[in-house]
Amino acid sequence: MAAETGFEMSGVTVTFGGLVALSDVSLAVGPNQVLGVIGPNGAGKTTLFNVACGFVRPDEGRLRWRGTELRALRPHQLAGHGIARTLQDLGLFDRMTVLENVLVGATRHARTSFWSGLFALPRHGRDERALTERAMAMLDELGIADVARRPVASLPYPVRKRVALARALAGDPDLLLLDEPASGLSNDEMAEIGELIGRLTARMSVMLVEHHMDLVMSVCHDIVVLDFGKVIARGGPDEIREHPAVLDAYLGEDVG
């Protein structure tokens, strides 16, 4: 269904030594859809993202994004294809300011060459200003424009979390992979993230790895449940809530 317009993963298997981290996983995300990926710790959710981003090569399986075979691409090429991701540990550029972090996220839109930067040509200045405007707009959208010039390392965790989100969004992605965006946040902050994801669906598809069930159930159109690297259930929020295998494997032990 999503072959030409969305993201599709089919028959993906990943093993680390003897450990099967993903086993014959297939899923699809259509345009403007939010796909939730849930499962207990160690189920393979982050590995799934690593496969999608080219950091982990699957032993088997295919990955397609808008009709392009992703396995042929290297990780840094994905941004150019409109795929962005946040990292579970944020992975901020710790010795840079908030604005600089987000500017790096906007690298995809940079237009000028090494040479115009070397000689600080007006062209480079204009490009930098355009990138800065884009980055500031992103910071504004996330309500952290006032800390733009602060070093990220000096900020509290929830703010840093927003910076990571702003950095991913600065590239104007069409597919956004969010790895536990609500972990460590208060209920209010989580609600804001939920609203944000809702707004983002107007312009992109989202894959969401998250432990907080309220959030997952409220924003996802579709949910895939992983356990020991296998898809044990899939369906809409209502189906998943009632699914016996899910209750067994996951919700029973770890209701967020």
Partner 1 sequence: MDRLLGRSTLRRHLTLAVLGMLVVVVVLESTGPFRNAQFASMAYYGIAGAGLTILIGLNGQISLGHGAFMAIGAYTAALMLQGGDPLPLPVILLAAALVTLVAGAVVGVAAARLHGPYLAGATLALAVAVPGIPVYFSGTLGGEQGLNVRVPDIPPWFADAVFFVTGQDMSRSRYLGYLGWFCLVVTFVLLANLARGRVGRTWRAVRDNEVAAELAGIDLGRARVLAFVVSATCAGLAGGLLALSARIAAPSGFTLTLSLLLLSAIVLGGLGTLTGALIGAAMLTFVPQLVTGLGQDLGLTDVRAAELAPLTYGLVTMLVVLFAPAGIVGGIRAAAARRRAVKTSGTSKEARKDEAMDEIRGVTGDRHPGGGVRRG
Ligand X SMILES: Nc1ncnc2c1ncn2[C@@H]1O[C@H](COP(=O)(O)OP(=O)(O)O)[C@@H](O)[C@H]1O
Residues contributing to the site for ligand X (CB under 6 A)? 16, 19, 21, 39, 41-47
CA atoms of 34 and 32, how far apart (whole Å): 7
Q: How far is the CB of 86 from partner 1 (least distance, A)?
A: 9
Residues in contact with Mg ion, total (CB under 5 A)? 2
In the complex, minimum distance from the CB of residue 88 to ligand X, in angstroms, rounded to a whole number: 7
Q: What Å distances lie between residue 1 and 30, 69, 100, 105, CA to CA?
A: 8, 16, 39, 30
Which range binds partner 1 by CB under 8 A, 166-174, 203-211, 213-221, 230-238?
166-174
The verdict on 105 binding partner 1 (CB under 8 A) reads yes
Q: From partner 1, ligand X, Mg ion, none, which one binds at residue 21 (CB under 5 to 8 Å depending on kind)? A: ligand X
For ligand X, the closer CB: 23 or 205 = 23
Four-residue CA torsion sign, 237, 239, 241, 244: negative
229: its two tokens: 């690297």
As a whole number of angstroms, the distance between CA 227 and CA 13 comes to 14
Among residues 232, 96, 85, 251, which one has the least CA distance to residue 168?
Answer: 85
Among 46, 86, 97, 205, binds Mg ion (CB under 5 A): 46
Tell me, residue by residue from 199 to 218, as one string, x for binding to partner 1 by CB under 8 A and - for no binding. Answer: --------------------
Other beta carbons within 10 Å of 123: 15
Smallest distance, Å, CB 101 to partner 1?
A: 8
Q: Could you tell me if 23 and 226 are in contact, meaning their C-beta atoms sit under 8 angstroms apart? A: no
> Which residues does 174 contact at the CB level (< 8 Å), separation at least 6?
66, 82, 83, 203, 204, 205
Please state the closest distance from residue 163 (CB atom) to Mg ion, in A: 20
Q: Work out what residue 183 binds among partner 1, Mg ion, ligand X, none; the CB cut-off runs from 5 to 8 Å by kind.
A: none
* 11, 125, 184, 198: which one binds partner 1 (CB under 8 A): 125
- Which stretches of the chain bind Mg ion, using CB under 5 A? 46, 88
